Amino acid sequence: MSFFSRIEVMIILMLAAQPVKCKRLKTPYFVDLITGKKGKVIFALRSPYQLIEMILIPSTGSRRKWLRGLFLNGEVQYVEGINKENYHNAHAKILKKIPKHLIRNVVILGGGDGVLAGKLAKLLPRATIYVLELDPCMIHVFKKYYPHDNDYAFYKRNVKVIIGDAFNTIDRFDRIDLAFVDLPDALNEERLEALYSPEKLGKVFEKAKFISIYNGGVNPTQIEHLARGYGFKVIGRSLVHGWLGAVGFVSHLSRI
């Protein structure tokens, strides 16, 4: 190996070892919401993957009240007091339909806000909850700035985080007792392919015994049909509503 190529290799190694940058932005600032109103951004951080914001939204009620919501790249994930509980409870409802005592390992694909992990850590104290999250800055934000939102999930003994694309890191598991798909909506073709394609979801269907899957804007019957091909039956479906009333579904699946 020549001298120069050795230096090049060293530079590459040094760059690869750089810690991920989670850049805190100056707040407050105001943004236009799709309701036509202004939202007040009280926390903002830029990660290599996305812009993470906590936004105060004026409620529509008669008494002026601000509701706090988590937004990723301007897309709402949850709003306190509106759909935060509804969405995560819809996932957790699967526990009423399956033998909880048999659940030892739980995998959440996405879910970096930790809300679902915090709930499951309480409901399944004997299981280990693995959060397969792409963005390390999400974990940083919810560990350091908003731990109360997820009941201190990332400080719990039985919650473990694995950073990386969930459809790669899932390869570390031979079998999964219970899987939750808590990924963003498939708003375009690229995301549909990256998060909800039959090949990607097939990886979950191959390994898990029970699955709670948010449809992410994809027709739930399509996802359920795909699951049936892997030997699953539908044991329930919960309606989830978004901040502005749009509805989605969480399907609960069991290997027959």
Ligand X SMILES: C[S@@+](CC[C@H](N)C(=O)[O-])C[C@H]1O[C@@H](n2cnc3c(N)ncnc32)[C@H](O)[C@@H]1O
Q: Which residues bind ligand X (CB under 6 A)?
A: 77, 109-113, 132-135, 138, 165-166, 182-185, 214
Residue 162, Cβ density class (10 Å: 0-12 exposed, 13-18 middle, ≥19 buried): middle
Sheet holding 105-110, edge to edge: 159-163, 128-133, 105-110, 176-182, 208-214, 247-255, 232-241
| Least distance from ligand X to the Cβ atom of residue 3, Å | 40
Specify the residue, 133 or 224, whose C-beta has the smaller distance to ligand X.
Answer: 133
Specify the residue, 105 or 212, whose C-beta has the smaller distance to ligand X.
Answer: 212
Specify the residue, 8 or 206, whose C-beta has the smaller distance to ligand X.
Answer: 206
Residues ≥6 apart with Cβ < 8 Å to 17: none
| Least distance from ligand X to the Cβ atom of residue 58, Å | 21
Q: CA dist 112 to 117, 149, 163, Å?
A: 9, 12, 10
Residues ≥6 apart with Cβ < 8 Å to 28: 40, 41, 42
Specify the residue, 51 or 226, whose C-beta has the smaller distance to ligand X.
Answer: 51
> Minimal CB distance to ligand X: which residue?
110
| Least distance from ligand X to the Cβ atom of residue 64, Å | 26
| Least distance from ligand X to the Cβ atom of residue 166, Å | 4
Specify the residue, 94 or 166, whose C-beta has the smaller distance to ligand X.
Answer: 166
| Least distance from ligand X to the Cβ atom of residue 81, Å | 15
Question: H-type helices in 95-197, by residue range?
Answer: 115-123, 136-144, 166-169, 189-196
Tell me how long the chain is: 256
